[in-house]
Amino acid sequence: MTTLIQNGILVTETETFPADILVEEQRIAAIGQNLPAPADADVIDASGCYVLPGIIDPHVHIQLDTGVFRTADDWETGTATAALGGVTTVIDFATQFPHQTAKEGVAARHREVLGVETADPDELAQAQPQTPHPPYIDYALHCMLTVLPDEDEELDAWMQDQRGAGVSAIKIYTTYRPNYYQNDAELLRSMTAAAKADLVVMVHAENDAIVSDATQRLVAAGRTDLSNHGRARPGFAEIEAAHRVLFLADKARAELYIVHNSMGRTVELIAQARQRGQRVWSETCPQYLLLDERKYEGADAWRFIMQPPLRDPYQPAHLWQLLASGRVHSLGTDHCDYTQAQKLGLRPLQDDRLMARLAALGPRVQDVITARFGLFDGRPRTQEETAHYLNLPLEAVQQAEMIAFQRIPDLGERMMALIQDLQRLDPAATPPRLPFTQTPGGLPGLQTALPLMVTYGVMPGHITWPDLVRLMSANPARIFRLSHRKGALRPGLDADIVIYDPRGESVITDGEQATIGGFTPYKGMKVTGRVRDTFVRGQAIVRDGELIGPRGWGRYVAS
């Protein structure tokens, strides 16, 4: 497959210049002016457009299972919405659940994405996805740690396993009890072990005691509607935790990456640590640059429930300044595809008695009914879709459904209630039924990040096009050890390319989102231009703003 992209303005992390790109065998073969078109080449005219290295989103949660909530998407949908946003590689997370080793957690995630049973990074990289919902674009993984082994030797071995599996980073948390939370001693152990294996340590930094106390006080006072979400997680809780993990990482000599900095002060602390010679990176997200806590006062507050929360209106301006001065190194979206039904807590989704009755009928029946009627995400599926989703024969789905309706006489009634709820899904008519403490946190962002950063970062002059490429492609590749394959327009690297047409204006709508949730926190915001084409290893996944596939083109990329 040979492709020549002509007449575009190339953007690297240092400059912009007019040039053509020749793509051969999934890689960039040549860059230059007036490159001759080989006879068999697919010639693409990029006149008037910017040609960027594909966006690498280093902070993504596709098909997320937190143990409490499960997002509604799968790897096909998740990577479709990414490709439409010009993203060519996502770095997602493999969770080491408490009963697993880190290696088992990562293997389970690969099995989910590719449907193959191997831990060998070379075999994984070759593996063609075997699942019903395979990815369109490439992926890499970070390893999210929960319960650590008692012995340091074993923890060291876990970290070496990660290196061997092509994973470049672990992620740990200073909050979220009981599973994810690590106390200071555990943080230090994780960091020390990671440093020995040269793994980056990603940290979600919020002071757990402060956040828990503030939350409990609000609950005790009956202040649990969504407008209180931000008050439960004050900005200084992030700053304190960042301060502490910087200290611990220095002690452990670990390379640190503090995720989703929502406070300008967090970024400043990181900059100071770097001046002292510490290896540490700052990540922020479009939501903290573009939105603020006033969103929690509106009827649409459910769209903005996330951790850390949106901040005071001064923070976005401060973060833009820090971004412009190069103190923020990486941009991630923290993408999460929860549905509106999950965010609002529609009735059957919250019906513990119904779930217990289903559970009593066995895991097969419970899985079928849960997926079929969208009991976890408010997205009912046909019998065929359910079979596809659960990887079961159609007859098994039909049989399980029959059993459920026989044993639970009012199941039909409950399902009607859900469907009525879904039909009334105008948030004004369907006020949130959940306290902020039980609303799943997380926003979709893959599809909108690039247009938003062009419109609100590059166009007003906060950052340049090369800054954008550094933040959204080159640095994520560099920090997470993918530069041998990705993150730049350079002969020999993967032909991951985005063509951005800066002409025209449009308004972001819920309807155009390719997520299952089908909503966006950026609804109503204007954007300049659009992602026209997305190429992953030379293959067109998006042309003229339309997803054209092919499904299952995505592969694992080892660091």
Residues that bind Zn ion (CB under 5 A): 334
Cα 122 to Cα 137: distance, rounded to the nearest angstrom: 18
Closest CA to 418 of 351, 466, 465, 492: 351
Nearer to Zn ion, 208 or 334 (CB): 334
From the CB of 79, what's the least distance to Zn ion, in Å?
17
For β-strands 546-547 and 539-543, DSSP reports them as antiparallel
Tokens of residue 311, six digits: 């901040």
Nearer to Zn ion, 334 or 421 (CB): 334
Cα torsion for 544, 545, 551, 555, to the nearest 10°? 100
From the CB of 59, what's the least distance to Zn ion, in Å?
6
From the CB of 227, what's the least distance to Zn ion, in Å?
23
From the CB of 334, what's the least distance to Zn ion, in Å?
4
Give CA separation, 148 vs 79, 186, 477, in Å. 31, 8, 28
Which one-letter amino acid corresponds to residue 170? I
Nearer to Zn ion, 24 or 238 (CB): 238
For β-strands 546-547 and 87-95, DSSP reports them as unpaired
E-state strands within 127-187: 138-144, 169-173
User: What is residue 374's DSSP assignment?
Assistant: T
DSSP 163-193: HHTT--EEEEESSSTTTTB--HHHHHHHHHH
For β-strands 335-336 and 497-507, DSSP reports them as unpaired
Tokens of residue 451, six digits: 């247009």
Identify the residue whose tokens are 């499904």.
551
Is residue 217 classed as helix, strand or coil in its secondary structure? helix
Nearer to Zn ion, 73 or 334 (CB): 334
CB 334 within 8 A of CB 260: yes
Half-sphere exposure of 382 (CA within 13 A, CB side): 3
From the CB of 114, what's the least distance to Zn ion, in Å?
22
Nearer to Zn ion, 75 or 180 (CB): 180
From the CB of 135, what's the least distance to Zn ion, in Å?
19
Residues paired with residue 536 on neighbouring β-strands, in sequence order: 539
Nearer to Zn ion, 62 or 254 (CB): 62
Chain Cα centroid distance, residue 38: 38
Nearer to Zn ion, 24 or 334 (CB): 334
From the CB of 336, what's the least distance to Zn ion, in Å?
7
Which one-letter amino acid corresponds to residue 489? L
Nearer to Zn ion, 93 or 373 (CB): 93
348 burial via Cβ count (<10 Å: 0-12, 13-18, 19+): buried
Greatest pairwise CA separation for the chain in angstroms = 73
Tokens of residue 364, six digits: 């097969």
From the CB of 62, what's the least distance to Zn ion, in Å?
11
Nearer to Zn ion, 193 or 259 (CB): 259
Tokens of residue 415, six digits: 């399902």
Cα 364 to Cα 399: distance, rounded to the nearest angstrom: 10
Nearer to Zn ion, 74 or 334 (CB): 334
From the CB of 445, what's the least distance to Zn ion, in Å?
11
Nearer to Zn ion, 62 or 195 (CB): 62
From the CB of 61, what's the least distance to Zn ion, in Å?
6
Nearer to Zn ion, 252 or 285 (CB): 285
Nearer to Zn ion, 50 or 480 (CB): 480
From the CB of 260, what's the least distance to Zn ion, in Å?
7
From the CB of 175, what's the least distance to Zn ion, in Å?
12
CB 284 within 8 A of CB 260: yes
Identify the residue whose tokens are 């403490």.
437
From the CB of 470, what's the least distance to Zn ion, in Å?
22
Give CA separation, 367 vs 6, 362, 481, in Å. 50, 9, 38
449 burial via Cβ count (<10 Å: 0-12, 13-18, 19+): buried
Q: By Cβ distance, which residue is nearest to Zn ion?
A: 334
Identify the residue whose tokens are 């439960």.
232
